[in-house]
Structure 1
Amino acid sequence: MRINNASLHHYIMKHIIDKGNAPKVAEMAEAFNVASDEMITALKALQDYHGVVLHPISSEVWVMHPFSCAPTNFWIESDSGCWWGNCAWCALGAAALLERDLTITTNLGAESRQVTIEIRAGKVINENLFIHFPIPMVNAWDNVIYTCSTMLMFESESDIESWCARHSMGKGDVQPINKVWEFSKVWYGNHLSPNWVKWSVDEAKEIFARFNLVNPVWDMPSSNSQF
C-alpha cells in the first residue's frame, strides 16, 4: 500500500469508524510496510496538512476530525459502536459519516446539564438546540484542540450570552442544530474517501457562503492553501 496523505488518512479514518479507536504507529508501519520512523514522518506531514493531530511526544493519533481519540464532552453511541467527537460541529459530522441511527450525549456549555441528541433516519429528533462558534475560523488551527473545546451546544442564545459573561469568552456566531447538521454533512462528506483532499481556504469559504454563514467568525482571507 502506497503511503501518502490520502491513503494514510483513509486508513486511520476507517480504523476509527470500524473499531472506535485509532491505529498505533507500529500497526500503521506494518500495514504500509515501512519503518516506524518513516511512518512518523508521514504522520507529521499529514498533520502539517491539517489532516490529523498527533500527541506531541509519542506521535500517536490524538484527533482526526471529526473524531477524537481522547475523552471529550461529546459521546457518540450506536448499536454498532461508540466514539468521541471533538465538538458540537465534529459530533454532527461524525454522525453524518457514520450514517446510522445514534445518539450524541453532551453537557450544555460543558457544564452540569446533560442532553442527549437523537439522530434517527438521517434526522435530528430534538431540534431546539443551538451551537456556539466563538473562535474565528482564521484562528481555528492556532490551537485546534482549544478551538474544538469551545464549540458547544446550548438551549438558547440567551444561555450563550450568560455563559460568555460567566467564562469571559467573547460571543461568536450562533447557529441552530439543524443548520449545522446539514452543513456538517457537506463539510465532512468526503472524509472517508480513499481520495480525500483537505478543503482549501477558498473551498471552505464557498461552503460557508452556501450555508449563509456570514458572521465575522467565518471570515478568512482568500487562499488556495489548506484550511
Structure 2
Amino acid sequence: MSAETDTSWDEDVRVAVYRAFAEHGRPPTAPELADAAHGSLAVAKQALHRLAERRHLVLDECEHVVLAHPFAAIPLGFSVMGERTLWWGGCAWDAFAIPHLVKGEPEVLVSTRCRGCGEPQALMVNDRTPPKGGLVAHFLVPVARMWDDVVHTCANQSLFCGESCVDEWLAETGQDKGYVMDLATLWRLAAGWYDGRLDHGYTRRDPAAAAAYFEQAGLSGPFWH
C-alpha cells in the first residue's frame, strides 16, 4: 500500500473524527478509526498526523485526538449539553458554535465559570438568535498566533461577568489585554465558522477569507489580522 493511496483516506478519517464527536461527544474509538481507513488502524493513525499538520485537529503525544474544533476531548472550561449529547466545548467560541454545526441539537446549555471571579454561568445558546445578558468574552491570543499553542489559545477564550472581571483577572495574572466582545458578537463569530466541517470536501478558510468572515461578524483591527 503506497503512501499516496493512504493519503486518499485522510478525508474519511477526518469525517469519522468529527462525526464521532458530533454524535457521541467523544473522539472515535480505535475500531471506528480503522473502519474509516478501510480496516487499518495504522493507516488511520498516519492520516491523523497529516490532518494535524494541516490543522484539522490536534493530537497529544499518545496520538489521541485532543481537539477537533469545535469539539474537545479534554475539559477546557466549557460543557455543552444538548438533548441527547454532552460535549466539552474547546472555548467560548467553540461552545457557541456547536448548536450551529450539529443540526440535530439546535439549542444547547453552555455552562462555565467566570474566569475572573469564579461565578457559575449558564446560557441557552441556539442557532437562531444570540443569547441575552451582560457577559463578555475575552480572547487572550491574537489570530496570527492562535496555532502556536492551540490548547493554550482555547483555554484562554473565556467568558467573564463583565469587563471589570476581565481587568481584574489580567491584573492578577500579569497578562496583556486581548480582545473583549459581547455575547452577540461571539454568537456571530461562531455561527458560520465551522460550516461544512462534518461533511466530505470541507476546506479550511485561507487568511483572506477568514479576515472577511471576521469583518462580517463585526471583528476588525490588528488582533484579527
Q: Do they fold alike, i.e. is TM over 0.5?
A: yes
Which of residues 215, 219, 222 in structure 1 aligns to 2:221? 215
> What is the number of equivalent residue pairs in this alignment?
218
CA distances 1:179-227 after superposition (whole Å, capped 9, x unpaired): 11122112112222221111222221121122231232112xxxxxxxx
1:4-153 to 2 correspondences below 5 Å: 4-57=9-62, 59-99=63-103, 100-109=106-115, 112-120=118-126, 122-153=128-159
Amino acid paired to 2:199 = S
Q: C-alpha displacement at 1:121, in angstroms?
A: 6.4
Report what 2:179 is aligned to: 173
Q: C-alpha displacement at 1:127, in angstroms?
A: 2.9
Report what 2:194 is aligned to: 188
Mapped contact 2:96–2:125 kept (Cα < 8 A): no
1:143/1:17 CA distance change after superposition, 3 Å: same
1:180/1:120 CA distance change after superposition, 3 Å: closer
Where in structure 2 are there 5+ consecutive unaligned residues? Answer: 1-6
1:198-213 to 2 correspondences below 5 Å: 198-213=204-219
Task: Write out the 4+ residue segments of structure 1 that deviate beyond 4 Å after TM superposition.
Answer: none
- SS of match in other structure, 2:79: strand
1:86/1:20 CA distance change after superposition, 3 Å: same
Mapped contact 2:116–2:168 kept (Cα < 8 A): no
Report what 1:157 is aligned to: 163
Amino acid paired to 1:60 = H
Q: C-alpha displacement at 1:11, in angstroms?
A: 1.6
1:28/1:123 CA distance change after superposition, 3 Å: same
Report what 1:224 is aligned to: none
- SS of match in other structure, 2:124: strand
Mapped contact 2:67–2:73 kept (Cα < 8 A): yes
Identity %: 24
1:127/1:188 CA distance change after superposition, 3 Å: farther
Alpha carbon RMSD of aligned pairs, Å? 2.0
Q: C-alpha displacement at 1:178, in angstroms?
A: 1.2
